[in-house]
Amino acid sequence: MGSKIMAKKKSPNTKDLFDQTDDIEWNKELKPLFKKYAGRKHPLEYKNLYQLLVMVVLSARDSDRNINALAPALFAKFPSMKHLAKATPEDLFPFISKVSNFGNKSQWLTKTAKEIKDDKNIPLTQEGLTQYSGIGRKSANVIMSQMNAPAEGVIVDLHTLRVSPRLGIAQGTNPEKIEKQLMAKVPQKNWHILGMSLTYLGRETCRPTNPKCHECVVNSVCAFYKEQK
Ligand code: SF4
C-alpha cells in the first residue's frame, strides 16, 4: 500500500468510531500533535492585534493567501483602528474588492473601528470580541489564541469539523457541539494548542479525500485509521 489511505472502503459511521474512544486520555495521546505544531506561525501574516482582527474578519470564506496579498496596501492606508474609524465602507473597496462578501465586510470593519476607536481598546475575551459584526466564536478563538489570551474555547473550523470525528475525539457536524466536546476532552490550558493542532492536521495531513494516515503522528489513537487497517 502507498503512503496514503485511499477512499476505497466505506467510511465507518462516526458515531460508532466515537463510541470506541471513550476511555482515551486525549490530552496525553495528542502530545505528539501539540509538539509538532507548538510555535507554528498562523498563516495570516499580521503584525499586531489590530491587523489580526481585520484580517480574521476578511478571511472568512476566503483564503489566507488572498488576504495576505492585499494586507500591505490596506494597512499602509489604514495603519490603525483610529485611521479605520474615519473611513467609510466605500473607502475600503479599492483595497478589498477581491475579497468574498467585501461589501458586508467593509461595513462591519468600519462600524467596528468606530466603536473600538483605538487599538488599545480591542478586547481579548469571547464576550468582548463577539459583540462586533463579523466576529463569531471561531474568529474570537483565533484572535485570543494568537494573542495568548486565557482560552475560553477551541478553534473549530472546516478542518476541525472533518478531523475531529475521524480521530474520534468528537462527533457530529455542529461547530458549537464539536467545540464543547473538545473542551471536555482536554484541559483548558491546552485549548489553544488543541485548536491550532487540529486545524494544521487537517490542512497538512488529514485531507478530505486522501488522508496521509501513514505519516500522521496520531494514527495510533485514530479511530478512522484503526477501522481502515
Ligand atoms: S490517522 Fe491522522 S490523517 Fe488518518 S484519518 Fe486519522 S487523523 Fe486523519
The domain segmentation of the chain, as residue ranges, is 14-40+152-228, 49-146
Q: Which atom of ligand 1 is nearest to the CA of 219?
A: 1
Kindly report, residue by residue over 119-149, the tens digit of the pLDDT: 999 999 999 999 999 999 999 999 999 999 9
pLDDT at 10: 46
49: Cβ contacts below 8 Å, ≥ 6 apart:
119, 122, 143, 147
Report how far residue 86's alpha carbon sits from residue 82's, in angstroms, rounded to the nearest whole number: 7
Distance from residue 29's CA to the centre of ligand 1 (Å): 13
Q: Which one of 14, 194, 199, 206 would you pick to mutate in the ligand 1 pocket, going by the greatest count of ligand atoms within 8 A of its CB?
A: 206
Q: Which residues line ligand 1 (CB under 6 A)?
A: 163, 166-167, 205-206, 211-213, 216, 218-219, 222, 224-225
Please give the grid coordinates belonging to residue 103.
461589501
pLDDT at 228: 87
Protein residue with its CA nearest to atom 8 in ligand 1: 206
Contact 92, 106 (CB under 8 A): yes
pLDDT at 18: 61
pLDDT at 41: 87
Distance from residue 59's CA to the centre of ligand 1 (Å): 26
Amino acid at 172: G
Protein residue with its CA nearest to atom 7 in ligand 1: 167
pLDDT at 51: 98
pLDDT at 8: 41
Distance from residue 34's CA to the centre of ligand 1 (Å): 15
Protein residue with its CA nearest to atom 4 in ligand 1: 213
Contact 130, 112 (CB under 8 A): no
CATH 1.10.1670.10 assigned to domain 14-40+152-228? The reply is yes
Distance from residue 220's CA to the centre of ligand 1 (Å): 9
Apex CA 113: angle with CA 123 and CA 63, to 5°? 85
Contact 143, 115 (CB under 8 A): no
Report how far residue 85's alpha carbon sits from residue 82's, in angstroms, rounded to the nearest whole number: 5
Report how far residue 133's alpha carbon sits from residue 98's, in angstroms, rounded to the nearest whole number: 20
pLDDT at 229: 78
Residues (pLDDT < 50) of the chain are 1-10
- pTM given for the model: 0.90
Q: What CATH architecture applies to the domain 49-146?
A: Orthogonal Bundle (1.10)
Distance from residue 153's CA to the centre of ligand 1 (Å): 23
Q: Which atom of ligand 1 is nearest to the CA of 212?
A: 3
Q: Which one of 197, 222, 227 would you pick to mutate in the ligand 1 pocket, going by the greatest count of ligand atoms within 8 A of its CB?
A: 222
pLDDT at 23: 81
Contact 199, 160 (CB under 8 A): yes
